[in-house]
Structure 1
Amino acid sequence: MKSSYSGANGGNCIEVAPDIPGLVPVRDSKDPHGPALFFPAVDWSSFVSAVKRGQFPA
């Protein structure tokens, strides 16, 4: 899934693949054939929740 903010040139965004049970692969949207980082799904969910609560400075 690519962010709608990514635009045609990739922007400063990431892509997240939702199809691996228990894991969330994340990669740079500007480099779709580059490496990915894999996070346990529970940890990724905690991270996303913290972002939504504004726990990280902009």
Structure 2
Amino acid sequence: MQDELKSEYHLYFYDHPEFVDILKDFLQCILIDKPDDVLNYAADYFTTFSRRQLLPPRYHRL
């Protein structure tokens, strides 16, 4: 069961490389900023994604 779950996660990451990129960016920010409260830092970091409308690149206006 655990191996099956790991396999599903691996496939999801493979199908959604943007997820891995977001995690890499987040970890890099944590290592640079070294926040005292990582939980609140994470909440603030990811809240910025929910506050703006995310559109595919072809819909972004210059």
The bucket for the TM-score relative to the shorter chain is 0.3 to 0.5
TM-score, structure 1 as length reference: 0.33
TM-score, structure 2 as length reference: 0.32
Greater gyration radius: 2
Relative to its length, the structure with more strand (as a share) is 1
